[in-house]
Amino acid sequence: MTRGSANRSGAVCLALCALTWVCAWPAVGAQTAPAPASQAVNQTQTVQLLGKAHALEVRGRMDMAKQTWQQVLLIDPNNSEALTGMARAAKLEGKNQEANDYLNKLRAINPNDPNIARVQNMGTAQDMSGQLQEAGRLAQAGQYARAMTILRQVYGTNPPPGDAALSYYQTEAATEDGRPHAIAGLRELIDKYPQDSRYQIALGKILTYNPRTREEGRKLLQKHPADPEAAEALRQSLVWDAQNPATTADIRAYLAKHKDQQLSTALEQTEAADGS
């Protein structure tokens, strides 16, 4: 993949499935208010369900993601991430009234929640598809600023997680003025979804573009040696610095896991020059 190229978003699956949920009712005379241990269990379960919903959404299974967000709301009716997810799903389905109902709940919790404007600016899945295809075409042609104009029309300044965020931030990072915002957005996603390696790889690639942040980018990419995209981005960063003796250890580490004649030759030349 070329630097800053945008991934095209796939069509969103909108089929609805039945929701299965088992409620555990307290025994007669039992304490109705949750004990601290129960609260901790609920928090853990909520985190797990939100991670599951995220994974389902990025795979295009919005129908199953909705089920999971509904489970979260049964535990925590004021969970902003689940409310946002439900609003986003309704908006994509063209159910504007349902989306507004969820947004009103968000607004009651935090009237300044940035997700409110983000969902309001969204179109239906069909409307967004044409815009995203055009943005992808412009990005592939190297017209990143024009692509970002469209992406901001679709998502505002905070794209939803998954493929949308990856496309958005990778395209934005190809513009000089947008790169800091892209880096900050990816850092936030890494903190929120540490198990999703795609955000780390995307950020690692972007950081290698700048010599001042290249070392940090390499460290992120080195965590994913089996990922072809991470390996290629790491290789490219090493090629850029192949003549720098300070990169010798990183090149050796890369060659220990990957065969590469260009880097092998560069390493030999650097070591020969350093020993002369």
The first and second tokens of residue 38, run together, are: 């129960």
Q: What are phi and psi of 213, to 5 degrees?
A: -110, 10
What is the spatial distance between Cα 134 and Cα 151, in angstroms, rounded to a whole number? 10
Model confidence over 4-43: pLDDT tens digits?
A: 433 333 333 322 232 222 222 233 333 444 545 667 777 8
The alpha-helical segments, DSSP class H, found in the chain are 36-58, 62-75, 80-92, 96-109, 114-120, 125-140, 144-155, 163-173, 179-192, 197-208, 214-222, 228-240, 248-255, 261-275
Q: Which of 2-16, 55-69, 179-193 has the lowest mean pLDDT?
A: 2-16
pTM above 0.85, yes or no: no
The average confidence (pLDDT) of the chain is 82
Measured CA to CA in angstroms, residue 181 lies from 133, 213, 216, 272 at distances of 23, 15, 17, 42
pLDDT digits (tens, 9 = 90+) for 62-106: 889 999 999 999 999 999 999 999 998 888 888 889 999 999 999
